Amino acid sequence: MFRRARDAAVALPVFVALWGCASAHPLLPVCASIEQLEPPPDSKICEAPELDALRSDLSRIVEPEAGSLLVRVEFDETSKASKVCADGRSAADAQARMALAGQLGEIMKHAPGPACLAGRRLDLNRRRSTLAEIERVEESCSEEMRHSTEAMFSVDLTTGTNRQYADCIARNADWVLIERSGQTLLFVKPDGAEAPPARAADTASRCSRDLDAQIACIEQDGFELVR
């Protein structure tokens, strides 16, 4: 009982501090469905150097506080940031959402982006948010394997892998992750895009050539490289 009372006394200042932060800044809102958000910029119109410079500037503001949140910034008709929201599911994301709310002013006062961003949006911190999602899927598949009576019979003796685990990853993956020449390259399906003609697992298996050809093969299946 005394330990519970002590823990409550320790937790109270933390709660008050967090409540004070929430009072000072409105929480960064959860994003609406992708259909309700502005579309991403048209890569055929937007020049990469201008877009990359703005994305880099905003990432420097957002990423130190974003944790595993996927942060979406929408732009008005003058290509100035007008709305910011974030997607995330972990317990730590709530604290990151609170911290990011304190950065809203800096995002909103940033100089307008290129004209092609008018009525469009940029997604920030996608690599970290996708890697966090991959970790969640791997944990879920490991848990599924542990609770399955079939798991003990599904080990592939030639590779040392568990077929049920591999099937679970293949069923849930919507990313392609490759490691070549000391690089870790992550590809995802763009939000709102039509489904690729193949599952991510099938794309990863089929696209296994030299690095340049492998990247071209993955992108041809509708996935884009996340930097």
According to the per-residue pLDDT averaged within each range, which of 105-119, 134-148, 203-217 is highest?
105-119
59 touches 124 (CB < 8 A): yes
Q: Each residue of 116-134: pLDDT tens digit? A: 999 999 999 999 999 999 9
Q: Which of 110, 27, 116, 104 lies closest to 77, judged by CA?
A: 116
121 touches 74 (CB < 8 A): yes
- Edge-to-edge strand list for the sheet holding 121-124: 81-87, 70-75, 121-124
Residue 109, pLDDT > 90, answer yes
Q: Which of 142, 129, 36 lies closest to 86, judged by CA?
A: 129
Q: Each residue of 5-51: pLDDT tens digit? A: 333 343 333 333 333 443 445 678 899 999 999 999 987 888 778 88
Q: Which of 73, 43, 77 lies closest to 55, judged by CA?
A: 73
Written as six digits, the tokens of 124 are 């920030």
What's the CA angle centered on 59, arms 134 and 18, to 5 degrees? 80
Between helices 48-66 and 91-101, what is the axis angle to 10°?
A: 120
Q: Which of 226, 164, 171, 167 lies closest to 200, judged by CA?
A: 171
Q: Which of 185, 170, 172, 192 lies closest to 219, judged by CA?
A: 185
Where do the domains of the chain lie?
28-124, 126-172, 173-227
- Give the global pTM: 0.76
Greater pLDDT, 146 or 71:
71
Q: Give the DSSP per-residue string, 104-163.
A: HHHHHTSPP--GGGTT-EEEESHHHHHHHHHHHHHHHHHHHHHT-TTGGG-EETTTTEEH
